[in-house]
Each structure stands twice: as structure tokens, then as C-alpha cells.
């Protein structure tokens, strides 16, 4: 039996009362439903660029991302092409890679001349394209000697214009090259036998690392990052750590270990450093991005497994634009995520939120960062901070986490005027 509400028939008094009650119940149910919320001290929103497919603006397992000087986005995927999107995520153009029979491109950055650099791991070569997609330079010789390339995986450029390339398989190392002169369509170079692009003459500068799990050794160096001081960060993926080197290749420090807790890694595939020194680590295994402060201490986590906006499925690479927006090659979901930077974010003090201790103000504004000895009150399920006089002031009246996760310690947290702990 089908019930049809006839708009032309006026309901009787009993029907009106029943209908009103049903409306109230529906509104109460909808009003009480918890709505998904995006929480971050660094980013105000997340946007989705692309969807699965092989058409214009569609993606098939995107593996690398880069941005140009105008903050346009470039993405390479398993279709063997590079696609260009505007800062608003609108498709602009694409170009096909020279060869894809052996394998697809992976590894991107922007060189000192503003060209987009794209690696071809299976061809052991490096390509330089103008933002319009014109191939202006191509170089690389297959081999394991210094100055040769064997399955390059990532590429980065320092302030001197030197190009750093990581490799894995036959060799486990990061090599540094210097290119003489500018690479542009107006500066022709020696003709390449493999195409119309010029062949520059890179000068080998140095090599960093070797195979292993010791200090300064690598097991699939999958991603590279350069900070404002030209220090080198290596995503040592199968050793589940980030290693840091001086601009001249001297080992400085390492952080991370295998695991899923904050500060642990599961196959970190990429790393980037913003202008303030915060480090962003892309984890393939844990499907998330972790943010660390300039002292390599955990600050915040983005993502987690899933397909909803803001969630990730085996991300491969990340990139930061001039505004601090973060792009994530969300390979398993066949899309790119754009995390939009908060406009009023400034350098935060040395902070180390632990076990998800983070609060935001009710208007989602920049958090107020403080630190001190925090302690749980298991009877009332609250968290308190003692002042210099020893008086405990309650900070949270609802704890969505298990109280056993909170301990008395010198914790750092973002504390609002009002609000509760959001989920990580």
C-alpha cells in the first residue's frame, strides 16, 4: 500500500498535530546528528581536485605534484601525462611524457628557471618542461657510477639551483648536480638524440648515503625536501624515518620509527618544509600527513584512511605553494587534496601536543598555545592545569578520549576560551 500526501487536501486537526510532532522529532534527530568537522591549527579547509578517470582533469593514481611561480598545480599520474590546474583547482592543460612503455613518471619539482622538472624512473632521466609543457631539457645516463642514474625517485632544487636526485634499487643514495646556465626555449642547447629537447651538461657535485639502516644510510629514499637553509630532508621510506643532512651532505639528525602513533611512520614517501621550518611528512602506509615543528617534534596530524574529503588512501607525494597551501597526491582515491592555509597563522612557539591534546576556539580561529603541567580528573572526566599557586583550573568538561591516555606531565596544548577536544 502506498501512502500519498495530497497537497490539495487539508489535514484534519489530529493529522496536523501528528504531522507537527513528526516534524519536531525529525528536526531533533537531525539537529543531534554529529556533523563531520575539519580541525587544524594550520589549515582552515580542505578541497578536492580531480576524480578517477582518464579525461581532462581526471586522475589515475596521481604520484607526484608540483607548483609553479604562479601557484598553478601540476600532477603526474599512471596515464603517463602531466596535467596543469589553476590555484582554484580548474583544469588548464596537459602534456604527454615522451615515453611510457617501460614505466610512468614519478618525482617532480620546480627548477631555478621556473621550469617543471619531471623524473622518468624507468628511463633514468630527468625532464625540464616550461609551464606551457614545452620540453626544454632532458638529461641522465643509466648506471651506478657517480653522476649516473639508476631508478631515480624524487627530485628537489636548493637555493643555488643545484638539483638533488634520490635513487633506490641498484643504488641507495642522493646525488647532487649543478647545471650551467639557464634552461629556457630561448637558450638552445646541444640537440639530444632522444628528441628535440636540449641536453644540458650536469656537473656531479656529491653523493650522500648508501644502502643500509644505519646513520646516513637509506632503504628506498622516496622523497626529498629542502628547507630555507638548504638543509636536506630525506624520506627514508623503508627505514620508516626522516633523515636530515647539511647543505653539503653531512648527517645532522634523524627522527621517526616504524609505527602508527604520533611521531611514528609507516613508509614515509615525501617530506616538505615551509618557510617557518615546520615539516610535513607524507605517509603511504598510514595514509596521513604529520606536521612537526622546527625541532622535529610532533604538532599535528592530517588525514587518516578513508575516502571522505580530508581522508586519504596511500598518498604518494606533497607540495607547498607560496601561500603555504598543502597539496597531497591522494593516489588511492585518484585525486589531489588541497589543504587551505589559515591566513593568520604565524610561527608557533615550540609545542608538542601529545595524545591528541588540542583545543580550538569556538570560531575556528588560530589556537592560543600555552604549556604547563596538565592532569586528569577521572571522577569528573575533565582535564586541569595548575597555575603557579597550585590552583587547578578546569580546561575541558568533556573528554571524548579514554581518561587512561592522560597522565600528569609537562604537556603542551592549544587551549581556547571555550570548546572541547576535537578528534584527531
Give per-residue pLDDT as tens, 96-132.
Answer: 998 999 999 999 999 999 999 999 999 999 999 999 9
What's the pLDDT score for residue 348? 52
Grid cell digits, residue 294: 622546527
Q: Could you tell me the pLDDT band of residue 184, with boundaries at 50, 70 and 90?
A: low
For residues 313 and 333, is the Cβ–Cβ distance under 8 A? Answer: yes
The C-alpha cell 593568520 sits at 344
The long-range contacts involving 261-266, CB below 8 angstroms and separated by at least 24 positions, are 262/290, 262/298, 262/301, 262/354, 262/355, 263/290, 263/292, 263/297, 263/298, 264/240, 265/240, 265/241, 265/290, 266/240
| Integer Cα distance of 290 and 352 in angstroms | 13
For residues 62 and 50, is the Cβ–Cβ distance under 8 A? Answer: yes
Burial (CB count within 10 angstroms: exposed 0-12, middle 13-18, buried 19+), residue 300: buried
Using left for φ > 0, alpha for ψ between -120 and 50, and beta otherwise, residue 381 falls in left
Q: Could you tell me the pLDDT band of residue 244, with boundaries at 50, 70 and 90?
A: very high
| Integer Cα distance of 292 and 272 in angstroms | 11
Residue percentage of the chain with pLDDT more than 70: 68
What's the pLDDT score for residue 179? 87
Residue 162's contacts (CB-CB under 8 Å, 6 or more residues apart) are 176, 177, 178, 205
Residue 199's contacts (CB-CB under 8 Å, 6 or more residues apart) are 137, 138, 139, 189, 190, 191, 192
pTM for this prediction: 0.75
Residue 397 C-beta-side C-alpha neighbours within 13 Å: 3
230 pLDDT higher than 60: yes
Grid cell digits, residue 71: 601557484
198 pLDDT higher than 60: yes
148 pLDDT higher than 70: yes
Give the distance between the most distant pair of CA atoms in the chain: 90
Average pLDDT, the chain: 79
Element (DSSP H or E) covering residue 289: strand 288-292
| Integer Cα distance of 45 and 39 in angstroms | 8
| Integer Cα distance of 246 and 207 in angstroms | 13
DSSP letters, 118-149, are EEEGGGTEEEEE-TT--EEEEE--BSSSTT-B
Classify 43-341 by CATH class: mainly beta
159 pLDDT higher than 80: yes
Q: What is the DSSP letter of 331?
A: G
The C-alpha cell 641536453 sits at 199
- Name 178's bridge partners: 203
| Integer Cα distance of 300 and 351 in angstroms | 10
What's the pLDDT score for residue 345? 66
pLDDT digits (tens, 9 = 90+) for 284-319: 999 999 999 999 999 999 999 999 999 999 999 999
Strands 251-255 and 81-85: unpaired
- Name 99's bridge partners: none
Parse the chain into domains and list their residue ranges: 43-341, 351-424
pLDDT digits (tens, 9 = 90+) for 383-423: 554 444 444 444 443 333 333 333 333 333 333 333 333 33
Amino acid at each position: 500500500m502506498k501512502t500519498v500526501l495530497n497537497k490539495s487536501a487539508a489535514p484534519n486537526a489530529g493529522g496536523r498535530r501528528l504531522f507537527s510532532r513528526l516534524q519536531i522529532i525529525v528536526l531533533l534527530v537531525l539537529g543531534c546528528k554529529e556533523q563531520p568537522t575539519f580541525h587544524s591549527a594550520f589549515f582552515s579547509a580542505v578541497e578536492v581536485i580531480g576524480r578517477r578517470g582518464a579525461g581532462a582533469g581526471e586522475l589515475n593514481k596521481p604520484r607526484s605534484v608540483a607548483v609553479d611561480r604562479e601557484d598553478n598545480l601540476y600532477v603526474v599520474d599512471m596515464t603517463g601525462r602531466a596535467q596543469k590546474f589553476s590555484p582554484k583547482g580548474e583544469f588548464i592543460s596537459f602534456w604527454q611524457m615522451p615515453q611510457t612503455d617501460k614505466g610512468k613518471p614519478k618525482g617532480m619539482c620546480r627548477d631555478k628557471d621556473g621550469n617543471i622538472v619531471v623524473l622518468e624512473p624507468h628511463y633514468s632521466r630527468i625532464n625540464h618542461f616550461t609551464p606551457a609543457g614545452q620540453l626544454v631539457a632532458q638529461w641522465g645516463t643509466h648506471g651506478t657510477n657517480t653522476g649516473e642514474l639508476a631508478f631515480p625517485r624524487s627530485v628537489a632544487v636548493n637555493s643555488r639551483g643545484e638539483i638533488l636526485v634520490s635513487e633506490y634499487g641498484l643504488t641507495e643514495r642522493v646525488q647532487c648536480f649543478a647545471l650551467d646556465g639557464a634552461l629556457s626555449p630561448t637558450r638552445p642547447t646541444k640537440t639530444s638524440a632522444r628528441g628535440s629537447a636540449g641536453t644540458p651538461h650536469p656537473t656531479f657535485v656529491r653523493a650522500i648515503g648508501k644502502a643500509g639502516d644505519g646513520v646516513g644510510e637509506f632503504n628506498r629514499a622516496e622523497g626529498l625536501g629542502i628547507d630555507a637553509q638548504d638543509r636536506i630532508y630525506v624520506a627514508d621510506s623503508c627505514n620508516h624515518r626522516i633523515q636530515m643532512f647539511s647543505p653539503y651532505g653531512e648527517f645532522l639528525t634523524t627522527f621517526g620509527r616504524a609505527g602508527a602513533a604520533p611521531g611514528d611512520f609507516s613508509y614515509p614517501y615525501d617530506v616538505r618544509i615551509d618557510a617557518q621550518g615546520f615539516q610535513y611528512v607524507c605517509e603511504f602506509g598510514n595514509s596521513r600527513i604529520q606536521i612537526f615543528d622546527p625541532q622535529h617534534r610532533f604538532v599535528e596530524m592530517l588525514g587518516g584512511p578513508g575516502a571522505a574529503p580530508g581522508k586519504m588512501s596511500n598518498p604518494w607525494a606533497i607540495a607547498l605553494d607560496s601561500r603555504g597551501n598543502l597539496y597531497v597526491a591522494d593516489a588511492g582515491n585518484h585525486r589531489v587534496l588541497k589543504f587551505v592555509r589559515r591566513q593568520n597563522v604565524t610561527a608557533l612557539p615550540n609545542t608538542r601536543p601529545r595524545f591528541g591534546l588540542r583545543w580550538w576556539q569556538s570560531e575556528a580561529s588560530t589556537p592560543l598555545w600555552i604549556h604547563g603541567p596538565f592532569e586528569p580528573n577521572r571522577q569528573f572526566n575533565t582535564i586541569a592545569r595548575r597555575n603557579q599557586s597550585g590552583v587547578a583550573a578546569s580546561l575541558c568538561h568533556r573528554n571524548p578520549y579514554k581518561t587512561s591516555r592522560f597522565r600528569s606531565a609537562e604537556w603542551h596544548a592549544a587551549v581556547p576560551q571555550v570548546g572541547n577536544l576535537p578528534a584527531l
